[in-house]
Amino acid sequence: MTRWGMVIDLEKCTGCQACTTACQMENARLPGEMWQDVLFYSEGEYPSGKLSWLPRPCMHCENPSCVAVCPTRATYKTEDGVVLIDWERCIGCKYCMIACPYGVRFYAEEKQKTQPDIRKVFPAKGDKVWDPPYKMPEHMQNPKWGVGIQPKNVVSKCTFCYHRVSQAPKGTVDLNPDDPKLRPYTPACVVTCAPSARYFGDLDNPSSEVRQLIATKRGTRLLDQTGNRPQVYYLAGEAPAIPETRSVRSGRKA
Amino acid sequence: MTATAMDRSPAPLLAYDAKPDPISALLMLLGAAGAGLGLAFVFYALLVDGHAAFNTSSDMAWGSPIAFYLFFLLTSSGLSIVASLDTVFGLRVFHPVAKRCVWMSIVALVAGFSVLALEIGRPFRMLWALPVGMQFHSPMWWMGVFYSLDLALLCAKFWLMHTRRWHAPGTHGLSVLSFVISILAPGTLGLVFGMMAMRPAWYSPIMPMYFILTGFVGALAFVLFFTAVLPNQRRKPNEALFDVLLPRLFFVSLLAVIGMRFGQIVTTLWSNYEGMEAHWLSLDSALFKIEILVGLALPALLTATNGMRANRALVMLAGFAYLIGNFFGRLELLINGQKVPLFKGYWAGYVDYWPSLTEWMLVPAGIGIYLFLYGAGEWLLRLAEAEPRQGRTS
Amino acid sequence: MSGLPLTSDRRDFLKSAAATGTVGATVGATVGAIGEIASSDAAPALAQPAVRPETKVTKNICHQCPARCGIDVYTTDGKVHAIYGSLDDPIANGKLCPKGHLGAYVLYDPDRFVGPMKRTNPRKGRDVDPGWQRISWDEALGIAAARLNALRAKGEQHRLAIVAGRGWGSTDAGLTDNFGKLFGTPNASLGHSSMCADASKRAKHLMDGNYSYNSYDYRNTNYLLNFGAAFLEAYRPYNNNLQVWGHIRTKAPKTKVTVVDVRVTPTGAAADRLLLIKPGTDGAMALAVAHEILINGWWERKFVGDFTDGVNRFKSGETLDAASFAERWTKGLIEWWNAELKDRTPEWAATITTIPAKDIRAVARELGTTRPAMVIFERGPTTHTNAIYNGMAIHALNAFVGAMYAVGGMASQMGVPYGALPWKADDYVDDAAKAAADRKMERIDRVKSADGPLWSNNIQGIPDSHLSGRPYKLDTAIFYSTNPIFSTPDCTRWEKALQDIFVIETSPFPSETAVFADLILPDHTYLERWQDAPTYPFEGYPITSLRVPAVKPIHDTKHFGDTLIELGKRIEGRMGEYYRQVGNIENVLRAIAKGFEKNPGDNGVNSLESWAAKGVWYKKPYFWRQIGGEFFEWDGSDYRKPMSAEEVKRRLLRTDSGKFEFRSSYLERYADFVNAKLGVAKERVGFPQWLAPRYAGKGDLFLVTPKTPLHAEGRSANIPQAISIYQPVSGGRNEMFLEIHPRTAAARRIKNGEQVRVATDIGGITVRAHLTPAARPDTVVLPFGFGHWAHGRWAKGRGQNPTEIIPNISDPISNLTSNYSVLVTVERVANQA
């Protein structure tokens, strides 16, 4: 059985955030609803100050705590290892947002940080949050996967571009965006990543590129102590270490 | 044995023939006004802005509505436990407040659920998705199960009391079951937070106990507050309970809460663990100060001596102060768990949150619902009624 | 920001293409109507099941920066919903930068102009409602033509100016030269390169004879010394730089990178070494590196030459006999050493730059002992009054390491063998135009005047010229793809100048310029239009890309090229005839694509149709290469054809001497001018040297105003999706912060997040401070990009625009604006909320 996973090489990552905008575009997300965020951290003092960054998609955990806490099973794990939200079952209790250690989930029903509120510029008829002209075509949308323009009052998150990945030919081991045949099935962030810092493939196949990279370049997972066992691995190489902290604290009191 | 006949005598289900006493009328009037104003405002805001009318966000997913919901639900369970002191454990001294406590417990649940319905994204979908979901890994699912049972059992228990079937076959068993659920329900609510290892500021096996205990003290505060406003003739026969035992129990339980909270504070401030700095940050917050000074220190001082505890005004004030502190303390607890953002980077800083006007309007809405229903019960449901003494076989 | 197509290189290509016989077979193609191309679904993606037949993929060129990445535009049911880099395009290679994905937001920007409009309110001002009235294109063009005809009748054609920014290729800015010639104005092609990077081009020109940006062979270099080029944020071609980064940082051997910059940038953070230098002193560091390379004998002897006896005699402080050194492809080394370099020790540089001598030595050792190596720089070191000398000092290092035209080094960009236009503008110059030419009017921006013999442009000077009437006042100005009222230093001068100019704005967006406009002739956005674009300097071989409309224009807008042609048709005399011949931009594209019949691209593109299907024409390889001090030309399969010194001079090292000149003969021609403007002794003018920058403003802190990755040269001001992710460092989400060191802040009682006033002698702005311990304590950073007072609902009223307080000073030689030679005061705003 295929179990999709991602490897992100931090030594290559330039922190450009093309993954963020590609994801936002492909999935028509709201401003600030960054399914694929890049987090920056600044530490140290001149002349040896340090700037580091970390791209952060959904980890699509092996043991996802969000799935465990969802009282309606709206959040679920697919057979091919992707964590999705069924927008037709989600009750908007937001417990999954509490339980996700990686802060990857979003709830559109909040005050827009970038004003004026774009939802009022492109208002939707009926139950949808908004209706932008650049939305994903209807045939690609699937509320059962949490893909497309979301209904009101549900939680959203990165789907590994399930509308693309799920259509890949059976038995695909590596989704290489440079291969014109496989490119349409590859997640948007992987397709666009200019330094090619992202790899996507089958974690259950020992000869997949992602498995090889994890083995030979010492793939690590974020916050492994949570036991969630992410299916997104980072290669730290000589890059700045993965920021362990969720925020950089400046002493005891901020 | 003659009393048995009296005991079983038909009583009007509702005392609709009586005019409401001024206290009940006032409570209902205040309740209707608060609920009317609050609900109208909140409904309008939700219609216009949806849940964007709240200041909650993807970083602070749970805000004041959840705190308020906690406040009502935990107090409800506490009230059920107070009632059970009599109905389950046979501490007959609590008998005069047993029926009232069961009613107050139901009413608090209704108020809490109402607030939740306004907070949750899709409350109607919850009604089918929760039972269909059967996600027994989720503490929230169990919470739904237990609180549904809780409400059902409390209603059944109240119905039996109201129809004067205190000793009908199964009543005691039902009371025991209701008590167990009233422990499990807030306990599970505690687990909803306490199990979250990824939210270190909440993560604690003690959380269920803390919730149950603070709910219990809240229940005592409720009883003290609402019985203090009762007309004298309803209190008179039970002065020992109202003026001595309940205040003392309140004081002693309050000391237990203070001890527990002190332990929590010391533990959390000592820890360097990522996420725990929220507690340090909260030291500066108004919420923390209100919780500790108004909610714990003040009521403890107000009820420190037997003489003070006999002063009905002081006791009433102490109960009120505890409830205020308790409410803000719950909000503080919620914020602390989410204050340190999860993977939001350098720019996010700590998550700032203060409830919006719409959220504040849930307060009159929730309290209004509570007051209205409580006042209605006081008027119509013979809440002071006790089981006839003779009814009990010794 | 780019210049115009590289016509001189194009000529070179044609010659060499003929010489080396690389002329492909002509493939005849049925020429269909241009509209049919737009709807042709020739993209390879269609063969794949994941893209449904109802989804159309069209080729376009990204407009978010000058890199010209080829993009695939995905359109379903007439709506654009996705943009990805094109796999066909050698720059994009299927990838994009963060701005590349924003195109659909630009297209569907709800604040776009929906059609031509005229002003009804004669009063002009920032907050004055222009009282727009929608009019037809016919009426709008009629109004503009009437003004232009009136100018011609009065013999005042020079009072028409066309100010253009990002207008690539033959269909847009490429039309303005002829427009000016036929109309009779010297002001038809006023570019904005003087606030872009004219100084780096000029510095290189003075040393190697090529007035252009370089093409680079990054992928094969093993050492990169980077002076102030925001390689991973704003340096072009950004997208390809990112691709390069992924490669060079994981190849064997890994390319080592040292960054010299004035603030902590992602580029610096990702590099092996980041040296935070005092602003404007990069030249001093480069001189010290050069000094170290020489005294240690690390220079590339095959390119530079050697002492006649092979013994290294470079010793700090000691002069040498020029005859003792035999130079190879360079000129003036010993003179330079004697005049400047011998005293430029790391210890000396440390006092100027604040970079410790040991770090300078370490950099020199790495650069001097690693091959291939190269040194890059751009606006950072040259946005100062000492721009040219900083740039020359840095570029000299490229000669030392033999990077010129070498593998892993730098070269120039070749032009594209376009077909010639069948209409000769010279045949249509009428008496009015001839008379205007005879008047020999100076350009309004005074380029090539006695004040600016080496200037290319002077957009920042136009308001001063107009306001002072020196050389004259403008009557009508057409603005295309530029918004100087927001972006030039001391930009508020434009608000006065535009009061009595008839302003024609062609932007699709409600720009600041539009607020002062009298007539709006809105252009299409890039996903709605045709346009050709020869590449920005990239890897040297010729590339030209093509925009194909993904959707029909969604508003009543007009292609700028067609607007110009339509305007031309309405001009009396021969000019109108010429434009009736041209007809429209479709004819222009057909004419230039003719050139591909004889020169098909590597991807088979040989016609307008195949060009539109692939989106790009290119032909590898780059033609010339320096290998171990010898120059070779491509012979069809390898670099084997040796070049004579004469050929090298003509094509590659195009200085007077045909050498890389450490003593610039070209600059020495202007010795009196340089002496007068910069106070450099006449006999020293030609040498790269340390010249302290002159700072404007009376403050005590340097202000730098960099570009962030999501804004850099882009179109993201009114895109909330972009605003919400502005990062990093001094960016911040939804807001721009002033980056300030905590000690600097504490001395001014400024706490984190507080409002501060940043001021120079021309004004002040209020921004929020962000305490940044990693920042230089003497430097504050405020990114450029926010502070719009127009441009749409999201752009407007968001932050402050630093160019409002940057005094208008420029490097006198290149005229590049000295945006960073600014000293500001920073103080806490009292009574904070």
pLDDT single digits (tens) C285-303? 999 999 999 999 999 999 9
Question: What domains can be seen in chain B, in order of their start residue?
Answer: 55-341+351-355 (1.20.1630.10)
Q: Mind telling me how many Å the CA of A248 is from chain B's nearest CA? A: 7
Helices and strands in chain B, H and E counts: 17, 0
CATH of residue C154: 3.40.50.740
Q: Nearest CA to C721 among A114, A38, A235? A: A114
Residues of C in contact with B346 (CB under 8 A): 728
- Domain extent, residue C779, equals 701-828
* C717: in domain: yes
Instruction: Look at residue C139 in the predicted model and tell me its pLDDT.
Output: 98
Phi/psi at C104 (5° precision): -65, -30
Q: Nearest CA to C214 among C535, C433, C430? A: C535
Instruction: Look at residue C29 in the predicted model and tell me its pLDDT.
Output: 33
In the stretch 89-148 of chain A, residues with CB closer than 8 A to chain B read 89-95, 97-107, 109-112, 117
- Cβ–Cβ contact C733 with B under 8 A: yes
Q: Mind telling me how many Å the CA of C221 is from chain A's nearest CA? A: 17
3-state secondary structure of C486: helix
* Other Cβ atoms closer than 10 A to A37: 25
Instruction: Look at residue C46 in the predicted model and tell me its pLDDT.
Output: 34
Closest residue of chain B to C731, computed from CA coordinates: B347
Q: Mind telling me how many Å the CA of C731 is from chain B's nearest CA? A: 9
Structure tokens at B182: 């009233």
Length of chain B: 394
Q: List pLDDT tens digits, range A69-107.
A: 999 999 999 999 999 999 999 999 999 999 999 999 999
B107-121, C496-510, C704-718, range with the lowest pLDDT: C704-718
What integer is the mean pLDDT of C754-771?
A: 95
Q: Mind telling me how many Å the CA of A63 is from chain B's nearest CA? A: 12
Is 90 exceeded by the pLDDT of residue C134?
yes
DSSP C807: -
B354-368, C115-129, C714-728, C817-831, range with the lowest pLDDT: C714-728
Residues C191 and C225 in one domain: no
Split at pLDDT 50, 70, 90, the class of C23 is very low
Closest residue of chain B to C726, computed from CA coordinates: B347
What integer is the mean pLDDT of A174-187?
A: 96
Structure tokens at C54: 């109802």
Residue linked to tokens 């990838």: C95
Give kind and range of the element (H or E) at residue C601: none
Residues C406 and C421 in one domain: no
Cβ–Cβ < 8 Å for A42, C774: yes
Distance between CA atoms of residues C470 and C453, nearest Å:
17
Residue from the list A38, A114, A184 with its beta carbon closest to the beta carbon of C724: A114
Structure tokens at B60: 């602070």
Query: A74, B129: Cβ pair inside 8 Å?
Result: yes
Query: B62, A72: Cβ pair inside 8 Å?
Result: no
Structure tokens at C94: 């299927």
Domain boundary among C392, C411, C430: C411
Residue from the list A114, A178, A180 with its beta carbon closest to the beta carbon of C794: A114
Percent of chain C residues past pLDDT 90, beyond the cut: 88
3-state secondary structure of C779: strand
Length of chain C: 833
* C268: in domain: yes
Residues C478 and C594 in one domain: yes
What does chain A look like in DSSP terms, one character per residue? ---EEEEEETTT-----HHHHHHHHHHTPPTT--SSEEEEEEES-TTS-EEEEEEE-----SS-HHHHH-TTS-EEE-TTS-EEE-TTT-----HHHHH-TT---EESSS--SSSS-HHHHSPPSTTBS---TTPPPGGG-BTTTTBSSPBTT-EE---SSHHHHTTSPTT--B--TTSTTTGGGS-HHHHH-TT--EEEEETT-TTSHHHHHHHHTT-B-TTGGGS---SEEEE-TTSPPPP-SSS---SS--
Is 90 exceeded by the pLDDT of residue C181?
yes
Instruction: Look at residue C19 in the predicted model and tell me its pLDDT.
Output: 37
Helix orientation angle between B246-270 and B207-228, rounded to the nearest 10 degrees: 150
Strands of C397-549, DSSP E: 410-411, 476-480, 502-505, 519-520, 531-534, 543-547
Instruction: Look at residue C728 in the predicted model and tell me its pLDDT.
Output: 65
- Paired with C306 in beta bridges are C326
Residues C390 and C429 in one domain: no
Closest residue of chain B to C770, computed from CA coordinates: B347
Q: List pLDDT tens digits, range C361-390.
A: 999 999 999 999 999 999 999 999 999 999
Residue from the list A14, A40, A51 with its beta carbon closest to the beta carbon of C245: A14
Q: Nearest CA to C739 among C710, C700, C771, C701? A: C771
Residues of B in contact with C732 (CB under 8 A): 347
Of chain C, the end-to-end C-alpha distance in Å amounts to 40
Average pLDDT of chain C? 92
- What is the domain count for chain C? 3
In this complex, how many residue pairs, one in chain A and one in chain B, have their CB atoms less than 8 Å apart?
Answer: 167
Chains that touch A (3 or more CB pairs under 8 A): B, C
Query: A24, C266: Cβ pair inside 8 Å?
Result: no
In this prediction the pTM is 0.93
Residues of A in contact with B348 (CB under 8 A): 247
Residues of B in contact with A155 (CB under 8 A): 121
Query: C725, A28: Cβ pair inside 8 Å?
Result: no
* C449: in domain: yes
Residue from the list A92, A102, A252 with its beta carbon closest to the beta carbon of B342: A102
Residues of C in contact with B347 (CB under 8 A): 727, 732-733
Distance between CA atoms of residues A166 and A28, nearest Å:
19
* C633: in domain: no
Residue from the list A56, A69, A97 with its beta carbon closest to the beta carbon of B58: A97
* Other Cβ atoms closer than 10 A to C434: 11
Residues C404 and C445 in one domain: no
How far CA C472 is from CA of A251, C161, C455, C458, C463, in Å, comes to 62, 12, 19, 15, 11
Residues of B in contact with C728 (CB under 8 A): 346
Split at pLDDT 50, 70, 90, the class of C732 is confident
Q: Mind telling me how many Å the CA of C742 is from chain B's nearest CA? A: 16
CB contact set of C122 (below 8 Å; sequence gap of 6+): none
Strands of C636-793, DSSP E: 639-642, 660-661, 701-704, 737-740, 755-760, 763-771, 779-781
Q: List pLDDT tens digits, range C5-20.
A: 333 333 333 333 333 3
* ipTM for the whole predicted complex goes beyond 0.90: yes
Furthest CA-CA distance within chain A: 56
Q: List pLDDT tens digits, range C183-236.
A: 999 999 999 999 999 999 999 999 999 999 999 999 999 999 999 999 999 899
Split at pLDDT 50, 70, 90, the class of C317 is very high
Query: A49, C98: Cβ pair inside 8 Å?
Result: no
Amino acid at C531: Q
Residues of A in contact with B346 (CB under 8 A): 39-42, 247-248
Cβ–Cβ < 8 Å for C561, C523: no
* Other Cβ atoms closer than 10 A to C637: 6
Q: Residue ranges per domain, chain A?
A: 4-235
* C29: in domain: no
Q: Mind telling me how many Å the CA of B328 is from chain A's nearest CA? A: 20
Which of C81, C243, C702, C737 best tests the A interface by mutation, with the highest count of A CBs <10 A? C81
Is 80 exceeded by the pLDDT of residue A250?
no
Cβ–Cβ < 8 Å for C436, C338: no
Query: A134, C104: Cβ pair inside 8 Å?
Result: yes
Query: B62, A98: Cβ pair inside 8 Å?
Result: yes
Distance between CA atoms of residues A208 and B308, nearest Å:
75
Class for the domain spanning A4-235: alpha beta
SS3 content of chain B, % helix, strand, coil (to 5): 75, 0, 25
Residues C271 and C395 in one domain: yes
Which of C725, C726, C733 best tests the B interface by mutation, with the highest count of B CBs <10 A? C733
Q: List pLDDT tens digits, range C527-554.
A: 999 999 999 899 999 999 999 999 999 9
> H helices within C652-768, ranges in order?
665-668, 671-678, 720-723, 742-747
Which of B58, B276, B350 best tests the A interface by mutation, with the highest count of A CBs <10 A? B58
CB contact set of B170 (below 8 Å; sequence gap of 6+): none
Instruction: Look at residue B384 in the predicted model and tell me its pLDDT.
Output: 80
Which contacts qualify for C138-144: CB closer than 8 Å, 24 or more apart? C140/C116, C140/C519, C140/C520, C140/C521, C141/C521, C141/C563, C141/C566, C141/C567, C141/C570, C142/C570, C143/C118, C143/C519, C144/C476, C144/C478, C144/C504, C144/C519, C144/C521, C144/C567, C144/C570
Query: C239, A116: Cβ pair inside 8 Å?
Result: no
Residue from the list A133, A185, A194 with its beta carbon closest to the beta carbon of C242: A194
DSSP C214: P
Q: List pLDDT tens digits, range C632-657.
A: 999 999 999 999 999 999 999 999 99
Residue from the list A41, A71, A153 with its beta carbon closest to the beta carbon of B121: A153
Split at pLDDT 50, 70, 90, the class of C1 is very low
Cβ–Cβ < 8 Å for C102, C721: yes
Residues of C in contact with A239 (CB under 8 A): 270
Query: A167, C50: Cβ pair inside 8 Å?
Result: yes
Closest residue of chain A to B191, computed from CA coordinates: A69
* C540: in domain: no
Residues C308 and C383 in one domain: yes
Distance between CA atoms of residues C543 and C548, nearest Å:
16
CATH of residue C754: 2.40.40.20
Residues C575 and C494 in one domain: yes
Residues C254 and C185 in one domain: no
Distance between CA atoms of residues C132 and C121, nearest Å:
8
How far CA A132 is from CA of A31, B87, C24, C79, C194, in Å, comes to 12, 60, 47, 10, 39
Query: B346, A244: Cβ pair inside 8 Å?
Result: no
**Sign of the CA dihedral A215, A220, A225, A231?**
negative
Residue from the list A39, A68, A71 with its beta carbon closest to the beta carbon of B133: A71
Distance between CA atoms of residues C417 and C494, nearest Å:
39
In this complex, how many residue pairs, one in chain A and one in chain C, have their CB atoms less than 8 Å apart?
Answer: 207
DSSP C242: H
Instruction: Look at residue A243 in the predicted model and tell me its pLDDT.
Output: 59
Query: A53, C266: Cβ pair inside 8 Å?
Result: yes
Distance between CA atoms of residues B163 and A137, nearest Å:
62
Structure tokens at C454: 């080496």
What integer is the mean pLDDT of C339-347?
A: 98
- Cβ–Cβ contact A113 with C under 8 A: yes
Amino acid at C695: Y
Chains that touch C (3 or more CB pairs under 8 A): A, B
Query: A93, B348: Cβ pair inside 8 Å?
Result: no
Residues of B in contact with A90 (CB under 8 A): 121-122, 125
DSSP B221: H
Distance between CA atoms of residues B110 and B104, nearest Å:
10
CATH of residue C333: 3.40.228.10
Q: List pLDDT tens digits, range C381-420.
A: 999 999 999 999 999 999 999 999 999 999 999 999 999 9
* Per-run averaged pLDDT (10 residues), chain B, 394 residues: 44 73 92 97 95 94 96 97 94 91 97 96 95 95 97 96 87 96 97 95 95 97 85 73 91 97 93 87 94 97 94 93 96 94 82 95 97 93 72 40
Residues C390 and C477 in one domain: no
Distance between CA atoms of residues C723 and C716, nearest Å:
7
Is 80 exceeded by the pLDDT of residue C26?
no
